[in-house]
């Protein structure tokens, strides 16, 4: 029996008495700086700007909707951005600034309970209720009830014949369709772009929140480094990261991936993989959430001996981030940052061009636009097979970076990102926040995904994820 297997139970899990001891002695290298919720003045300013744009567009009233998508999560962040409401509902915002905001709360339990249970600047909250014979023994349909409640309210407030701006997503469609039928004399227009435009530049207080989110990610990474050693499972690494960041104020433990195998897989969830000599581990921290805002970081860990090809790919990606970061300052073009990131790829012959339109990437279709067949072949994985399953496809289907860009904006979840790629010729502005992550994956050969979270400052850039080095972390195999 190997030393690794001797430390596991027959099911492949560590014995219970080991779990909580892994973080013994852990201490981050820096002190987390909590910043607390955004002040009400921030929401007052947002509302002022939203109403001004709505007036210019001719809207009499705006309706904002977010739906439940399960596990007390919502389909977009519009309500949280406008009034710090973290649940689902419909918000009515008259464009006249002397009229109050009104919320129609819908659906699940715990909707009205703090935290994030008291919407800022909202005067009245109406609980529409949940409907259905099977669950509630109440005949009716929730969408119809919401439409009736909101429609009746608009009529009472003098908006039965009005120009109505709509902010939501695909889940909002049945509500908007119902209101169009309920108020046939009104005109309805999508206007989510009003808020989407406000996501490009972060206010100083928002910058502080994103900085805190990045600190949580760094602390989580340091906790993962503390526990990683041969014999530890990906479950334990994921749990260590989660505990460290959530214990200090992180909102969720499922905004990131961990990939472990001998070839540098950089997207996945824990499944029982046992750390061994030769493993490449990726911590793809795609969203640590703090006070509603996210930060994104990516780090690589090499366990023991890896191949020369893998070392080259790791170094290439680190250089890609460094070259991109050197271009971050107000006035430079986003495309300049993206193109700089791919210089190490071009120098080594991994790519022929930094053009995002022609660049190969891991999930690309065939050149003619038709679907690309994922190769079917047994990929040995003893930890998966110990659980009675087999890997029978080679992911991804082709080599390249994960995406044909080097990053994207970071803000609140479900807002539209701008990408850091060759066709984005916008100028960088002070207050922009984004991730720069250089990636490469050649199936069953080598892979890497490393990146930092950046804030554009008045005279350059601030690396918000500066508490863990970009270079791969090294773990001894024995």
Q: Which residue has the higher pLDDT, 70 or 328?
A: 328
Is 149 exposed, middle or buried, given 0-12, 13-18 or 19+ CB atoms closer than 10 A? Answer: middle
Lowest mean pLDDT among 95-109, 278-292, 295-309: 95-109
**For all residues of the chain together, what is the average pLDDT?**
92
Please name each of the domains of the chain with its CATH number.
3-30+201-475 (3.90.230.10), 40-197 (3.40.350.10)
Q: 258-292 pLDDT, tens per residue?
A: 999 999 876 789 999 999 999 999 999 999 999 99
Residue whose token pair is 């636009």: 369
Q: What pTM value is reported for the model?
A: 0.93
Mean pLDDT of 18-39: 92
Confidence of residue 14 (pLDDT cuts 50, 70, 90): low
**Mean pLDDT calculated for residue range 223-229:** 97
| pLDDT at residue 188 greater than cutoff 80 | yes
- Using alpha carbons, list the distances in angstroms from residue 123 to 91, 133, 164: 11, 32, 20
- The pLDDT assigned to 1 comes to 37
Task: Encode pLDDT of 376-420 as tens digits.
Answer: 999 999 999 999 999 999 988 999 999 999 999 998 998 988 999
User: For the chain, what percent of residues have pLDDT higher than 70?
Assistant: 94
User: What pLDDT sits at residue 13?
Assistant: 59
Confidence of residue 346 (pLDDT cuts 50, 70, 90): very high
pLDDT of residue 10 exceeding 60:
no
pLDDT recorded at residue 239 = 96
**pLDDT reported for residue 108:** 57
Size of the chain in residues: 478
Residue pLDDT, tens place only, 161-170: 999 999 999 9
């Amino acid at each position: 029996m190997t030393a690794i297997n001797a430390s596991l139970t027959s099911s492949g899990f560590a014995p219970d008495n080991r779990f909580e001891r892994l973080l013994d002695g852990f201490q981050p290298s820096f002190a987390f700086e909590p910043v607390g919720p955004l002040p009400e003045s921030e929401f007052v300013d947002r509302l002022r700007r939203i109403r001004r744009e709505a007036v210019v567009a001719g809207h009499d009233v705006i309706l904002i909707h977010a739906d439940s998508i399960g596990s007390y999560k919502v389909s977009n962040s519009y309500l949280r951005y406008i009034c710090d409401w973290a649940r689902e509902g419909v918000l009515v915002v008259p464009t006249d600034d002397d009229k109050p905001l009104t919320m129609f709360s819908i659906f699940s339990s715990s909707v009205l309970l703090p935290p994030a249970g008291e919407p800022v600047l909202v005067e009245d909250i109406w609980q529409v209720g949940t409907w259905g014979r099977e669950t509630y023994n109440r005949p009716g349909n929730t969408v119809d009830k919401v439409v009736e409640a909101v429609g009746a309210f608009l009529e009472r407030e003098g908006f039965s014949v009005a120009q109505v701006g709509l902010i939501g997503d695909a889940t909002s469609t049945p509500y908007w369709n119902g209101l169009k039928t309920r108020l046939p004399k009104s005109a309805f227009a999508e206007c989510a772009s009003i808020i989407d435009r406000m996501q490009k530049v972060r206010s100083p207080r928002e910058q502080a929140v994103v900085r805190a989110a990045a600190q949580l990610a760094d602390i989580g990474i340091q906790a993962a480094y503390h526990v990683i050693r041969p014999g530890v499972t990906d479950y334990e690494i994921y749990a260590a990261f989660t505990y460290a960041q959530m214990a200090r104020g992180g909102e969720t433990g499922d905004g990131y991936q961990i990939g472990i195998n001998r070839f540098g897989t950089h997207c996945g969830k824990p499944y029982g993989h046992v750390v061994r000599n030769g493993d490449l581990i990726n911590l793809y921290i795609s969203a640590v959430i703090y006070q509603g805002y996210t930060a994104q970081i990516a780090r690589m860990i090499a366990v023991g001996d890896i191949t020369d090809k893998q070392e080259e790919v790791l170094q290439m990606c680190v250089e890609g981030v460094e070259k991109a970061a050197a271009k971050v300052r107000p006035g430079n073009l986003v495309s300049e940052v993206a193109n700089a990131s791919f210089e190490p790829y071009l120098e080594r012959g991994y790519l022929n061009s930094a053009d995002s339109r022609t660049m190969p990437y891991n999930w690309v279709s065939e050149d003619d636009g038709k679907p690309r067949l994922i190769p079917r072949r047994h990929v040995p994985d003893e930890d998966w097979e110990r659980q009675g399953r087999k890997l029978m496809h080679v992911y991804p289907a082709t080599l390249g970076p994960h995406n044909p860009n080097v990053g994207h904006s970071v803000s609140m979840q479900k807002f539209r990102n701008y990408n850091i790629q060759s066709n984005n010729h916008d100028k960088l502005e002070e207050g922009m926040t984004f991730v720069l992550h250089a990636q490469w994956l050649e199936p069953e050969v080598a892979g890497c995904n490393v990146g930092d979270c950046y804030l554009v400052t008045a005279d350059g850039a601030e690396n918000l994820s500066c508490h863990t080095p970009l270079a791969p972390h090294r773990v001894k195999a024995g």
